[in-house]
Amino acid sequence: MQQFVILLHLCKKTKEENKKKMKKISTHPMEALLKKNHTPKIKNKQEIDAKIVSISKKNIVFDIGAKAYAILGHREQKEISTKLPYLKEGQLIKVRIISPESKEGYPVVSLQNFFQKGKWQILKEKKEKEDEIDVICGEYGKGGVFVDFMGIRGVIPKIQLTEDFINQPEKLNGQKIKVKILEVDEEKNRLVVSQKASALKISQKDLREKFEKIEVGKKYQAKVLGVSDFGAFCEVDDVEGLIHISEISWEKVNSAADHLRTGEKIDVIVVEKNDVDLKLNLSIKRLKNDPWTEIEKKYSKDKEVEGEVVRKEKYGYFIRLEPGVEGLIHISKIPAGEEVKIGQKIKAFVERVSEKTRRMSLVLPSKEKPVTYR
């Protein structure tokens, strides 16, 4: 009989212990944290340091000191998905008290001030660590694809797009993509990011090492990534470069697209390096001798020359004497009734020439005195 009583007692004890265990298991971790809450002395609108204890898709629990816990306000809970990529458990963060004690008995806090003041700090830290960030793409403009990061407007330069988008950047409009930060400056309100660096896993550290090895004045092979009104975007060993339209040829270039095609590989010379942005200024024309060197000896005053009329301006006609060398016949130097046509081959005399200003004035031969002119 005594054994039966002991057995019954043990069964009853085990049943009670199981109930306690089940109750403990069924309690949500967030609820368990909040039940331990012992609210410290805090005031409404007070800003304090808080440690993120728990993060979920519905709420965030903060340790605000003295083993007290607080949660995010209801309004910000609705926008929590936009904040989660920038927060992690264990992170120390500034919060603002919006309710020292809610109906449930625990404080309610806001992250609004942190995301207003701290987002630039987030960007700086992400840049230093070369971490990716999520941005929303906007329209494509002259500077590149505009993006938004937590209300900060940034840009992806066209050359920082992968080949899938570099020729059709407008396809990114409205898309949420991952990028790496190239430049962040709070004072200038400037944010420059790269979609290519993120997609191709390009390290800025490795890129700088490659940049340092490139020498000014040296010849390299470059790949043309894209062509614009002001020149061509290129890549030299993964380092960004630009060939300005004025550096394509010694001759006048009206359109870079007439000379270069996307995807082709060309020889270039490095003219300048930008150590801050890790960018190169490149040239094609400087691989050849400047035709204006010692031009005054080659085309001396009164020398008779022959060339082709290549274009007309309001002030006269330009005559191409050789690739990269043109002379101007001013409109006032053309006799009345005499017609000059584009593409016409004509003879003229050198009136003035300057290597410094890279200008040459020509005059037509006098019909009355074909030997010379005055």
pTM over 0.75: no
pLDDT at position 156, please?
95
Q: What φ, ψ does residue 35 adopt, rounded to 5°?
A: -70, -25
- Of the candidates 239, 240, 241, 170, the residue with the CA atom closest to the CA atom of residue 210: 239
Cβ atoms of 71 and 59 within 8 Å: the answer is: yes
1 three-state secondary structure:
coil
The Cα–Cα gap between 134 and 179 comes to 6
213 three-state secondary structure:
helix
Please give the helix or strand (H or E) that residue 81 lies within, else none: helix 80-83
**205, two tokens:** 């550290």
pLDDT at position 113, please?
81
The Cα–Cα gap between 26 and 207 comes to 52
289-292: which pairs have CB atoms within 8 A and are 24 or more residues apart?
A: 290/250, 290/324, 291/250, 291/322, 291/323, 291/324, 291/325, 292/250, 292/324, 292/325, 292/355, 292/358
pLDDT at position 204, please?
86
Cβ atoms of 219 and 236 within 8 Å: the answer is: no
pLDDT at position 297, please?
93
What's the gap between Cα 20 and its chain centre? Answer: 58
- How would you write the pLDDT of the chain (374 residues) with one tens digit per residue? 434 333 334 344 444 544 444 344 344 555 555 555 555 677 888 888 899 999 888 889 999 886 788 988 888 888 777 677 778 899 888 899 988 887 777 889 998 887 776 788 889 989 999 999 999 999 998 879 999 988 889 999 988 998 889 878 999 999 999 999 999 998 899 999 999 999 999 888 899 999 999 999 999 999 998 888 889 999 999 899 999 999 999 998 989 999 999 889 999 999 999 998 889 999 999 999 999 999 999 999 999 999 999 999 999 999 999 999 999 999 999 988 888 999 999 999 999 999 999 999 999 987 655 454 44
Residue type, 246: S
Q: How far is CA 17 from CA 11, 21, 29, in A?
A: 10, 6, 20
Q: How far is CA 218 from CA 61, 234, 268, 269, 271, in A?
A: 58, 16, 8, 6, 8
- Per the rule left: phi > 0, alpha: psi between -120 and 50, beta: everything else, 14 is alpha
pLDDT at position 32, please?
54
Q: How far is CA 157 from CA 89, 123, 195, in A?
A: 34, 18, 9
Q: What φ, ψ does residue 347 adopt, rounded to 5°?
A: -105, 150
The Cα–Cα gap between 195 and 227 comes to 19
Cβ atoms of 319 and 307 within 8 Å: the answer is: yes
pLDDT at position 158, please?
86
pLDDT at position 141, please?
87
